[in-house]
Amino acid sequence: MSAKATVELIPRKILFDNPDRAMPRLSPDGQQLAYLAPRAGVLNVWVGPADHPDQAQPVTQDTGRGIRIFFWAYTNRHILYLQDQKGDENWRVYSVNLANSAIKDLTPLEGVRAEIQEVSRKFPLEILIRLNDRDPQLHDVYRVNIEHGHRELLMQNQENFFGFTTDEEYKIRLGMRFAPDGDSELLRRTPQGLWEPFTQIPYEDSLTTWPIGFDLSGEYLYMVDSRSRDTAALVSVHLQSGEQAVIAEDPKADISDVMIHPTQKRVQAVAATYDRQRWQILDNAIQGDLSYLRTLADGDLEVVSRSLDDRRWIIAYLMDNGPTRYYLYEREQRPARFLFSSRKALEKLPLAKMHPVVIRARDGLNLVSYLTLPVGADPHQTTRPQRPLPMVLFVHGGPWARDNWGYHPYHQWLSNRGYAVLSVNFRGSIGFGKRFINAGNREWGAKMHDDLLDAVNWAIAEKIADPSKIAIMGGSYGGYATLVGLTLTPDLFACGVDIVGPSSLVTLLNSIPPYWAPMITIFTTRVGDHRTDEGRKFLESRSPLTYVGRIQKPLLIGQGANDPRVKQSESDQIVEAMQTKKIPVTYVLFPDEGHGFAKPENNMAFNAIAEAFLYRCLQGERYEPIGDDFKGASVTVLAGAKEIPGLEESLKKQQSSQSVST
């Protein structure tokens, strides 16, 4: 029996609209709770009593793309948050005084990117901020008062550092920079304000080794470190002697999370994530807590917030077939009280399970992957459908990122429409040791793509995927992989959906944001060197734009006009090349978006188009028509509207609605 006949169709709005509530955070004194929730359809920060979260009220007033980054100041009466303009990633830092609801822009600088460096309990009214106001390529460190905004320069970045490590006393202790050969250098600041070498991080360890902070004495540095091993361990380093001790490690995966006591600064537990997250408990003081908390719910457990006295925790349970569930945990009495879930509407819906699978690449690498099948397609629970299905290969971005087990709105959406969905941690993905990351060096469009092909061939051989109905889809690097799939392997995929993906590696590297310049070595050594004739030829050989004439299958492209990472020109140029060769393409542009679609209205609008596109290309069983999903969106279709069912009609309806409203 088909999924169409047995499982209700889940509306896109439920899957892709704003969460009901997300990111709950306790105030340092444990008395208040802040979280993100919609206000007039836009995510804002709400604050209320921790014991009565339903009494929370909004304290911010964003009306655009929504707030996604916020935290408490140690005053217990200020909320700090970051926001950019229409996706340009020039973040500003704002302070909200909860006593009078006043909002203060702490970094009122046009075209400047602010980054939070340190927030210390010892200086409740001040924070450290990095700003590239002097030089767009380099961030200097400032000490900023969160009430009146007074800014004091602590250090001018003259050493080409891309990052700093500071302590609770607001002392700048370490700086990190790349050497021309790709190695990383960690330098120590002397009492006189000079810089001296502290340690060298070889090129092969540069993406898996970094400092994370200090112990309470300030004499020991905690680091994630892969030197002299494959998977990155958590280590402590004595700053004077350089003596190093391993705190915890995992033979299969890098350390991915660390629990550190909020005031005593001792490591209490660490997690490593191979296929699923696994915690190692190092401090007996929390052994009983975590043992108890594991009995409350299934899913991967996270301690997402702690009061300074450590009596109250906020616990999150991450599920694959349901929303994240949040609890308030009183450690002394040991009840854990359910607060809310991230999306209540999901709780009774027929969501699919996500299955970790390990696929062997042609050269023997293990590719940790995640497979989701439509509900009802696997009645015997063998992780194999009764018959081969249309499949969407959903490729993650980065590429120095990874896919994880858990609730994934795209997996749920596409599987609900009758597709198998497969996500693959191809070589170059993080979390699986340095050999796995380094196996992706200079392999964009080559062995990294081979890994995706090997996963597709596995799905075909296992009778999961119908070989004539496979789509490739993804954002950023996943968008690039989509373009590679349709140009370098044009016979394999039935269609592709590219979201903010680069089409030329040469133009991509020539147009990186200025503040990425100190890290350019990552790209020139791991992707290719756009600064030399030989390097440009190599990069052109790995660029989909070079092979645009090979495209045979339908392509949908989505782009944000303000994207600072993958400029609009990356999509413009491949669309223009396809049109010159009279190759059909549908090109969707959002003038108020950046690197991805943050506004739910825009995200739903693009996914509505993508759903109709996939339905036509893969001859799907069912789809939800575009309907009213353009309402409130800035969607603009620059090419190929006629290629997608219902798109021209929906655009006319949107234009008519806009005309009436004006």
The bridge status of strand 495-499 relative to strand 465-475 is parallel
So what's the pLDDT on residue 496? 98
Task: Give the number of other Cβ atoms within 10 Å of residue 568's Cβ.
Answer: 15
DSSP 238-275: ETTT--EEEEE--SSS-EEEEEE-TTT--EEEEEEESS
The bridge status of strand 138-145 relative to strand 277-281 is unpaired
In the block, residue with structure tokens 């349970």:
317
In the block, residue with structure tokens 């409203």:
661
In angstroms, rounded to a whole number, what is the distance separating the alpha carbons of residues 497 and 469?
A: 14
Task: Give the number of other Cβ atoms within 10 Å of residue 661's Cβ.
Answer: 6
Those residues whose C-beta lies under 8 Å from the C-beta of residue 237, and which sit 6 or more positions away, are: 199, 220, 221, 222, 223, 243, 244
- Tell me which residues are annotated as active site: 476, 563, 595
So what's the pLDDT on residue 56? 98
Extended strands (E) in 375-532 = 389-395, 420-424, 465-475, 495-499
The bridge status of strand 555-560 relative to strand 495-499 is parallel
Q: Report which DSSP code applies to 154.
A: E
So what's the pLDDT on residue 656? 74
CATH of 354-504+543-625, one of 3.90.950.20, 3.20.20.70, 3.40.50.1820, 3.40.640.10: 3.40.50.1820
DSSP 64-97: SS---EEEE-TTSSEEEEEE-STT----EEEEEE
Which residue numbers in the chain have pLDDT < 50?
1, 3-4
Q: Is residue 522 a contact partner of residue 178, using CB atoms and an 8 Å limit?
A: yes
547 three-class SS: helix
The runs of H, that is alpha helices, within 462-526 are: 477-488, 505-510, 520-526
pTM of the predicted model as reported, rounded to 2 decimal places: 0.96
So what's the pLDDT on residue 3? 47
- Write down how long the chain is: 662
Give 458-461's long-range contacts (Cβ < 8 A, gap of 24+). Answer: 458/359, 458/360, 459/371, 459/391, 459/420, 459/422, 460/388
So what's the pLDDT on residue 6? 75
Q: What are the extents of the domains in the chain?
A: 354-504+543-625
Closest CA to 293 of 332, 233, 335, 247: 335
In angstroms, rounded to a whole number, what is the distance separating the alpha carbons of residues 569 and 223?
A: 39
